[in-house]
Amino acid sequence: MLELYPELESVKGVDGFFDAKRRRVAGERLTLDEIEGRGRDLGDPRVHFAVVCASASCPDLPAEPLDPARLDRQLDELTRAFLADPDKGLRYDDEDNTLWLSSIFKWYAGDFTGGSTLVAYFARGRVLEWVLPHVAGPLRATLAERDPAVKYLDYDWSLNDR
């Protein structure tokens, strides 16, 4: 990104950005997809809120490096912060009882439900079950009580320009 910025409008404009270009990480040359895959293999869906690709709808880049001694707390904070952002994480429409979630929950539904992504996508309630404990304040009770329909926000792949 640093080499292509500011002319680049989106990571989607770089051929092989996720699956072909390799970067050196811990002595290995890995693609961004491989790095993400290794994070997902850890079995903690909160990793989705610590991994970013510089797009506007991605979670915010953590302000500090992830630290093994504080990792659980950091992942909780990143998850709550992402879900608190109505433009990219979670937005509730009270009028029609619809919960709008990031497309991350659609694309990786299986990570949040412990099952297949295809099955989890259609069993939207299981994604909602994962989300509820991470929602702050009275909204959590409202969502639990009202059992909203779940829909997914459009993903903005333009650069976050931060």
pLDDT digits (tens, 9 = 90+) for 9-62: 888 888 888 889 898 988 999 998 998 889 888 899 999 999 888 899 999 988
pLDDT exceeds cutoff 60 at 124: no
pLDDT bin (cut points 50, 70, 90) of residue 71 is very high
Mean of the per-residue pLDDT values of the chain: 88
**96: how many CB neighbours lie within 10 A of its CB?**
8
pLDDT bin (cut points 50, 70, 90) of residue 3 is confident
Tell how far CA 70 is from the center of its chain.
20
pLDDT at residue 125, rounded to an integer: 57
79 touches 46 (CB < 8 A): yes
What is the percentage of the chain residues whose pLDDT exceeds 70?
Answer: 92
List CB contacts of 31: < 8 A, sequence separation 6 or more.
16, 18, 19, 20, 21, 22, 23
